Structure 1
Amino acid sequence: MQELTKAQKARNAIRTFEIIADAFALRGYYKPSGISGQTLAEALKMFSPEIYGSMNDPRIIELKGLEYVTDRLPRGIEECTRIILTAQEDFEDTSFEKVMPLKRRRTSYRVSEKEICFVITRGLSEIYDILTHITFLNIEAEKIYNQMYGKSGNTTKEWRNLEENALKGDELNGSDLDRAIWNLSIILGRSYHETRATYEYLEKGRKSAKSNRGLFQIIYRLGNRIADEKISRDNELLIYFTPSLQDMIGHHQYAETWATSIKEKIISLGLQERPVHIISANMHSVINTLYGYSAVKTSDQNGAYEDIYDFFQMIRGKTDDVGKYARNHGLYELPDESGAHIDCQLIDMALLGSVAFHPEIRVNMPETESEKPVLLVMDYAFGTQAFEVMDELLSPFDTGEGLLKFNIESVSVMGKAGILPGKKGDIMLATGHVFEGTPHNYIVTNDLKKEDFDSSIDVYTGVIVTVLGTSLQNRDVLKKFQATSWNAVGLEMEGGHYQRAISAAILRGHISSDVKVRYAYYASDNPLVGGQTLASGSMGKEGIRPTYMITKVILEKILR
């Protein structure tokens, strides 16, 4: 029997993880310490995501992965023994504390000291994401537990010291802090400086109400939870899926409400007959590109900030000024109230007559008002949610007197993606989207070309792989996509789902087959290069040039 390659084994493991996760959701519950839960953990270990670094090394605790996960799960998750995943629940009139993770738009409630409830509004991708993070935490918790006891069977001196520091109300500093970090580094199997870096990273985040606890508390509670499980099965961590969540999976409950509110706003403004251009992007770059130059008056506006990217760097701290000006010149903000966690903006280009653009922005606005476009800027969707929201957005609207088709002229997607042949900050243009682990792929007639961008950034054109989750990146699988005739240049979570909805809308006659489609991604990480995975942190200033270069090109395409 022919032996499978590493890439094939990893792809099988990813598929296994997905099947098991789906089965759990249908079954209604599972315990990570149980046989089925351990099968899920083994699948995660088999494909060994790059973002979780040294997860498979039993000698050391994976700190960068821990930073990444704790930023994306609610505060206190490490001590909970009961985690509930549910559909929409009305918790507003309860005493339950609403807890939002620091770096993920995700609604959760702390029901009690040991119980937390996730309200799932973004479909299967959100479920996979949560289960992946919980599985990683449990793997690390088991490794921490193994460091609690010495050969005598008693807790080690290092663990007793950690317990004292974790339960202290006083902040450590000076030599006391140095000794505590050194002691903790022995438990973690990490160097003093590695442990110190994670400690300081988490301490910086603790200034926010959304953040998790500090490193001492997290490590102590993870190990203690496993110790409690060994004492009694009643203490075992249980993941429970409510019947309401099971009924919601595969339906567009939140997406329909979200899309309806947008369409109603367009109609209320009398813009339903105008050409509409949809842009999936962040909530600042389009506003800054269109309004920033007029909104921010500087004595040296035509001097030091002649370079457009220097200008955008300068106005990063002037969000309020730009927003106020924009609201007086055609911007309508649509904060999400559906639970989809996707805010939107409507921009009526007919109201930008007096707005001056930066000299490097080349546009040619239509003369007649009826031809002036309406921009619908929508915040990032999450994984499979992208299909649901785009499918609903492109569908005709039932006005009560008949179906109204909006004049959708283009759909532009500006996203973050992992790059394969290049480096962080480069740009990728999609020629097609391939779903990882399935036979499904979509050819893209991309209206964006390499020649549209200036030479200050490397631009790669090719296939983009749509992956199951950001935490499911495997080096061997990604190398396979890059090195074979797929010639993949990047990976992300939403593009294939967007294109599936666009193709369906064309087939169903909801939008014209002439609709312009644009996909451009800037590289937020390179999972094939050590130290450049998503766990290595955000891009910061280096993300400004690619973000605004893509925004500028998309707007110039729309407004020429």
Structure 2
Amino acid sequence: MQDLTYAQKARLAVRSFQTIAHALALKGYYRPSEKMGQSLAESLENLSPEIYGSMNDPRVVELSGLEYVIDRLPRGIEECTRIILTEEEEFDNHIFEKIEPLRRRRTCYRISKKEMCFTITRGLSEIYDILTHLTFLNSEAAKIHRRMQDESGARTVEWNELEKTVQRIDTLTARELEQAIWNLSIILGRPYHQTRASFASFEKNKQERKGNNGLFSLICHLGKRVEEEQNARENALIIYLTPSLMNIIGHQKYGEKWAYDIKKRLRILNLHERPLHIISANLHSVVNLIYGYGAMQQAEEDLYEFILRIRDHREEIRRYAGANGFYDHPDRSGTHIDCQVIDTARIGSVPFHPGLRFSIPESGGEKPVFLVMDYAFGIQAFEVMDNLLTPFDEDEHRIPMDVRSVSVMGKAGILTGQKGDIMLANAHVIEGTSDNYIFQNDLKPEDFDSDVAVHAGPMITVLGTSLQNRAMLKKFRSSWNTVGLEMEGGHYQRAISAAIIKGHISDAVKVRYAYYASDNPLASGQTLAAGEMGDEGVRPTYMVTKVILEKILAG
């Protein structure tokens, strides 16, 4: 029998994870400590995702992976033994604490000290995301528990000290804090400087954004949860997936509400018959480029230096924009996708930065309308775009929209360059399916400044941020010539192609896909777990936005 390659083993692990996740959703619950939960963990361990670093090393606790996961789960998740995933959204007039994770747009509720509820509104990708993070967290909890006791079964000195630290964390002197971090590094199997850096990162998010309960508390609760589970079965962690959860899969409940609300707003503003340009992007770069110069009346300078200087003037720019054709459209559907509408017929007197080549059409009927939508999440991209491109039904009349272009500006992992580079897709390959989409990208490398590297080629649309490893990514690069990986592009293109086939939009619609490299999963220390890019991400982000707007407003 022929041995499987590492890439083939990784693909089997991903397929196994998917299959088990679907089976668990149908069953309705599972305990990570029991057979199906362990099978899920084995699939993730066999995959050994790059983003989870040393997950499979039993000697050490993976700190960067822990920080990444905790930033994307609700505060206090480490204390809970009952976790519910549901599509139920009727939590009005409740007494439960509503919690939104620091770096993931999802709604969670703390039902009790031991119970957390996730409201799933973003489809299968969100379910995969939560289950992978919970599986990783449970794996690290087991490692921590093993380091609570010595060979005789007695509590270690380090663990006893950790429990004391948690009790008096707010009264520690500077010297006592450093001693506590040293002690924690022994429990974690990590060097002192790594533990110190992780403590500082956790503490910053705890103090400034209430994103977590701190590193000491996290480690202590994870270890004690496993101990309590081993002492009594009723303390075992259990994860429920309610029957109603499966109702959202393929039914597009939230996408329909979201799209209807947007098209109704365009109708109210009397913009529904004007040329429409849809832009999937962040909610700062388009408004800042169009209105920032006029709002701030700054002296002429380099465009990107100018953007860096005005980023803290959000409210002034929004007020100016609101008087010149800009409309905020917060999400009311549960998709967590806010939007903005910009009527270019009302920006004729707005001065643009000299570094921008914008030209507004003279004809009023041809002046474009921008619909800027915040990032979708994975498979959700198909649901929202499919519904958005469907003609608006009103009083038994179908009102098609004059969609001229769809532009997707995102961040992605790069496979052929380095962080900060730009990637242009000429095809999307959806991982784990036979869905491959080739298209004519209206963006070309020569559209961009020469001081930024631009890579053009296929992009792989992956199942989740945590469901790849090095072998898989190298195989994608060698067999498909992929330049990067992301989560939404293939699903957007699937919806665009479907809308053209159904006659909802013209086949002449322009499509634009550009991504800036937020991480390099093949380079050590450059995965998503390494953190945000910061100021170095401004130039590629705004360069992509600039080129997209110049294409739409070409003079």
TM over 0.5: yes
| Counterpart selection for 1:340 from 335, 340, 346 | 335
- After TM superposition, list the pairs within 5 Å mapping 1:257-296 onto structure 2: 257-296=257-296
Cα distance, 1:474 vs structure 2: 0.8
2:402 aligned partner: 407
2:550 aligned partner: 556
2:78 aligned partner: 78
1:367 aligned partner: 362
Q: Distance in 1 between matches of 2:548 and 2:375?
A: 16
Cα distance, 1:171 vs structure 2: 3.6
Alignment gaps of 5+ in structure 2 = none
| Counterpart selection for 1:497 from 467, 491, 495 | 491
Cα distance, 1:169 vs structure 2: 5.4
Partner amino acid, structure 1, of 2:540? P
- After TM superposition, list the pairs within 5 Å mapping 1:446-461 onto structure 2: 446-461=441-456
Q: Distance in 2 between matches of 1:126 and 1:172?
A: 39
Q: Distance in 2 between matches of 1:160 and 1:167?
A: 11
Contact 1:50–1:473 (Cα < 8 Å) also in 2: yes
Cα distance, 1:362 vs structure 2: 0.9
Cα distance, 1:542 vs structure 2: 0.4
- After TM superposition, list the pairs within 5 Å mapping 1:186-225 onto structure 2: 186-225=186-225
**Structure 1 residues 459 and 169: CA distance shift in structure 2, 3 A:** closer
Tell which deviates more after alignment, 59-68 or 209-218.
209-218
Partner amino acid, structure 2, of 1:337? R
Partner amino acid, structure 2, of 1:395? T
Cα distance, 1:168 vs structure 2: 2.4
Cα distance, 1:202 vs structure 2: 0.5
- After TM superposition, list the pairs within 5 Å mapping 1:240-319 onto structure 2: 240-298=240-298, 301-302=299-300, 305=301, 307-319=302-314
1:377 aligned partner: 372
| Counterpart selection for 2:506 from 503, 509, 512 | 512
- After TM superposition, list the pairs within 5 Å mapping 1:124-273 onto structure 2: 124-168=124-168, 170-273=170-273
Cα distance, 1:209 vs structure 2: 5.0
SS in structure 1 at match of 2:170:
coil
Alignment gaps of 5+ in structure 1 = none
Q: Distance in 1 between matches of 2:466 and 2:142?
A: 20
Does residue 1:547 correspond to 2:541, yes or no?
A: yes
**Structure 1 residues 494 and 81: CA distance shift in structure 2, 3 A:** same
Contact 1:74–1:210 (Cα < 8 Å) also in 2: no
Partner amino acid, structure 2, of 1:528? L
Tell which deviates more after alignment, 160-169 or 147-156.
160-169
Tell which deviates more after alignment, 29-38 or 240-249.
240-249
Cα distance, 1:473 vs structure 2: 2.3
Does residue 1:432 correspond to 2:427, yes or no?
A: yes
Cα distance, 1:437 vs structure 2: 2.2
Does residue 1:45 correspond to 2:34, yes or no?
A: no
Partner amino acid, structure 2, of 1:540? G
Tell which deviates more after alignment, 205-214 or 534-543.
205-214
2:121 aligned partner: 121
Cα distance, 1:79 vs structure 2: 1.2
Does residue 1:330 correspond to 2:325, yes or no?
A: yes
Deviations 1:268-315 (A, max 9, x none): 0111110000000000000011111111123xx12xx2x111111111
Contact 1:81–1:236 (Cα < 8 Å) also in 2: yes
Contact 1:158–1:184 (Cα < 8 Å) also in 2: yes
SS in structure 1 at match of 2:195:
helix
Cα distance, 1:472 vs structure 2: 1.4
Give the aligned length: 554
Q: Distance in 1 between matches of 2:373 and 2:388?
A: 11
SS in structure 2 at match of 1:423:
coil
Partner amino acid, structure 1, of 2:531? G
**Structure 1 residues 171 and 437: CA distance shift in structure 2, 3 A:** farther
Partner amino acid, structure 1, of 2:105? R
Contact 2:500–2:507 (Cα < 8 Å) also in 1: yes
Cα distance, 1:191 vs structure 2: 0.5
SS in structure 2 at match of 1:206:
helix
Partner amino acid, structure 2, of 1:470? T
Deviations 1:40-76 (A, max 9, x none): 0010011111110000000000000000111110011
SS in structure 2 at match of 1:524:
strand
Contact 1:100–1:210 (Cα < 8 Å) also in 2: no
Partner amino acid, structure 2, of 1:515? V
Partner amino acid, structure 1, of 2:101? P
Q: Distance in 2 between matches of 1:294 and 1:103?
A: 31
Q: Distance in 2 between matches of 1:159 and 1:116?
A: 27
Cα distance, 1:364 vs structure 2: 2.5
1:354 aligned partner: 349
Cα distance, 1:400 vs structure 2: 1.2
Q: Distance in 1 between matches of 2:446 and 2:132?
A: 39
Q: Distance in 2 between matches of 1:35 and 1:108?
A: 27
1:62 aligned partner: 62
SS in structure 1 at match of 2:404:
strand
Contact 1:431–1:462 (Cα < 8 Å) also in 2: yes
Contact 2:459–2:482 (Cα < 8 Å) also in 1: yes
Deviations 1:79-129 (A, max 9, x none): 100000001332221111101111111100000000000000000000000
Partner amino acid, structure 1, of 2:190? R
Partner amino acid, structure 2, of 1:282? N
Contact 1:79–1:221 (Cα < 8 Å) also in 2: yes
Q: Distance in 1 between matches of 2:305 and 2:211?
A: 32
1:321 aligned partner: 316
Cα distance, 1:453 vs structure 2: 0.5
Tell which deviates more after alignment, 40-49 or 245-254.
245-254
Q: Distance in 2 between matches of 1:559 and 1:258?
A: 27
Contact 2:10–2:468 (Cα < 8 Å) also in 1: no
Partner amino acid, structure 2, of 1:502? I
Cα distance, 1:23 vs structure 2: 1.1
Q: Distance in 2 between matches of 1:145 and 1:344?
A: 45
Q: Distance in 2 between matches of 1:416 and 1:238?
A: 34
SS in structure 2 at match of 1:278:
strand
1:421 aligned partner: 416
Cα distance, 1:355 vs structure 2: 0.5
Q: Distance in 2 between matches of 1:59 and 1:459?
A: 41
Cα RMSD for the two superposed structures: 0.9
SS in structure 1 at match of 2:203:
helix
Partner amino acid, structure 1, of 2:362? E
SS in structure 1 at match of 2:491:
helix
| Counterpart selection for 1:388 from 383, 388, 393 | 383
Contact 2:121–2:248 (Cα < 8 Å) also in 1: no
Structure 1 segments (4+ residues) deviating >2 Å: 167-173
Q: Distance in 1 between matches of 2:210 and 2:204?
A: 12
Q: Distance in 2 between matches of 1:379 and 1:291?
A: 18
Partner amino acid, structure 1, of 2:148? M
Partner amino acid, structure 2, of 1:222? L
Partner amino acid, structure 2, of 1:342? I
TM-score, structure 1 normalization: 0.98
- After TM superposition, list the pairs within 5 Å mapping 1:528-547 onto structure 2: 528-547=522-541
